Amino acid sequence: MNAFDYLLGLSKDLDKHFVLNHNEKVCFSDIYEGSLKIASYLKEVVGEDQKIVLISQNSVFFILAYLGIIKSGNVCVPVNPAIEQANLDYIAGLTESKMIFVSDSLRSALKIPDVSRIDETSLSEILQNVSIDSEIASINTNFDGNRLAEILFTSGSTGAPKGVMLSHINICSNTDSIIQYLGLTTSDIVEVVLPFFYCYGLSLLHTHLRVGGSVVFNNNFIFLGSVIDDLNKYKCTGFAGVPSHYQLLLKKSQTFKTSKFPSLRYVTQAGGKLHDVFIEDFVETFPEIKFFIMYGQTEATARLSYLPPDRIHDKLGSIGKGIPGVTLMVVNDQNCLVENGEVGELIVKGNNVMKGYYNDPETTKETIKNGWLYTGDLARVDEDGFIYLVARKKEIIKVGGKRVSPKEIEEVILSVPEVIDCTIEGVYDDLLGEAIKANIVLSKPFDETSIREKILKKCTECLSLFKIPQIIQFSENLNVNAAGKKVKS
């Protein structure tokens, strides 16, 4: 099945709004009809199996373009609206894109490659003048779900962006699993602060289209007051964020922890480890709100595991177990299952695992072996089968030959009340090979000398001597990317 038909198959006739923002309200029937018109236009103009770039903030423009591209049998390539010109040129060239959808607000900021361009004005003309092709409107029961639906580019830590190829089956499978464990229904309304070019944000679009729920955009998380206000203004039942979102809400906002959210049923967190101190703070402040800790990768469409809210207290720090339809294992260097408590690499299998990296068979071969996705994450399993991440393989620091996980040190430093964020990294050292550097963000300005002493005292109490940072650097703000995920300097 084409992912479009899956996502809107049960909701296309609903008499309700999907987007609730006062300036961009749109109902399900208009999304369905508009997307079919765009798909009909694309079928006539570009045919099928073409790569089509989409550059837009979260908006109705994005939704219509995204769904129309997928329904037409073409491949959507959504990219960061704040993309650097060099990266846009690279992605457009690599994918040989013949068409680019770009929102009006971004046209002047970027030099769009010399290809067909659809902006908001031309999209409006398509919606007014194009008739829906009867073949496009029908559900093709012979459609190959293994066909490529989208390419999501991940920046990675170094080198050129990697294009993760996701099929129609990948989208349908992961969406279905997420709906199951979150218990989503047509009554759910989620506030979306995550961009749709990012797999976590895109999963919110997929799940709420499928169940007939609704979304509220907030593209300016920096204004914490508006984020908090929207939760109640639109009676949101759900909220999704990466670690930095919760860190800022819990330690930067003056009102979040004293606010009441009578409609908020659950929140989800993924996109990196949220340290235990923040999880404990949230569930203590809002015990009636279900907190879902989740783990995933773009290479797995979005989601791989979750920790049920009722296990947070006894399994704090765990990413839980595999979501429905996904198998997780932790293996050693010989690809054998590790014993309980032993550290190995987390590998996964399921219908949500990507087809591979676009135009990069070698990296694909290194990442997918015998149908298993090798995540690059080191983990251990407890006696009850719950998984705990230890570190990324590439993040392990070796101090004088001793292996150190940054997460362990970050957890200790974040327990200091004045600290809002901490990033541990290894830096070159003549004597030890690597020395430990702590990059720290404080909740407000403090005397750095006294705070440094307080942090080192805490580290001395909780850590072995070789794990104590030799270098402590203070920064004013969290260093995050457009998706809100932490970026190491």
Tokens of 389: 């991440």
127-163 burial: b if 16+ Cβ within 10 Å, else e: beebebbeebeeeeeeeebebbbbbbbebeeeeebbb
Amino acid at 99: M
Give the position of tokens 């409609």. 263
Query: DSSP states of 399-444 as a string?
Result: ETTEEE-HHHHHHHHHTSTTEEEEEEEEEEETTTEEEEEEEEEESS
β-pair type (402-404, 397-399): antiparallel
Q: What was the pLDDT predicted at 157?
A: 43
> What is the percentage of the chain residues whose pLDDT exceeds 70?
96
In angstroms, rounded to a whole number, what is the distance separating the alpha carbons of residues 321 and 335?
20
Q: What was the pLDDT predicted at 114?
A: 79
* Residue 317 near residue 380 (C-beta atoms within 8 A): no
pLDDT tens-digit profile of 362-401? Answer: 999 999 999 999 999 999 999 999 999 987 777 778 776 6
Closest CA to 19 of 6, 29, 9, 7: 29
Q: Is pLDDT of 360 > 80?
A: yes
> What is the percentage of the chain residues whose pLDDT exceeds 90?
74
Burial class of 390 by CB neighbour count within 10 A (0 to 12, 13 to 18, 19+):
buried
Q: Is pLDDT of 159 > 70?
A: no
- Angle of helix 224-233 relative to helix 243-251, nearest 10 degrees, comes to 100
Return the ∠ at Cα 194 (arms to 71 and 29), rounded to 5°: 35
Q: Is pLDDT of 155 > 90?
A: no
pLDDT tens-digit profile of 74-94? Answer: 999 999 898 888 889 999 999
Q: What was the pLDDT predicted at 488?
A: 67
Q: What was the pLDDT predicted at 323?
A: 97
Closest CA to 179 of 151, 146, 152, 212: 212
Q: What was the pLDDT predicted at 400?
A: 65
For residue 212, what are the contacts with CB-CB under 8 A and spacing of at least 6? 10, 11, 14, 16, 28, 186
Q: What was the pLDDT predicted at 158?
A: 44
pLDDT tens-digit profile of 456-480? Answer: 999 999 888 889 999 999 988 887 7
Q: Is pLDDT of 432 > 70?
A: no
Helix, strand, or coil (residue 294): strand
In angstroms, rounded to a whole number, what is the distance separating the alpha carbons of residues 291 and 331?
29
Q: What was the pLDDT predicted at 6?
A: 97
In angstroms, rounded to a whole number, what is the distance separating the alpha carbons of residues 397 and 346?
19
When pLDDT is averaged across residues 406-410 and rounded to a whole number, the result is 86
In angstroms, rounded to a whole number, what is the distance separating the alpha carbons of residues 41 and 74?
12
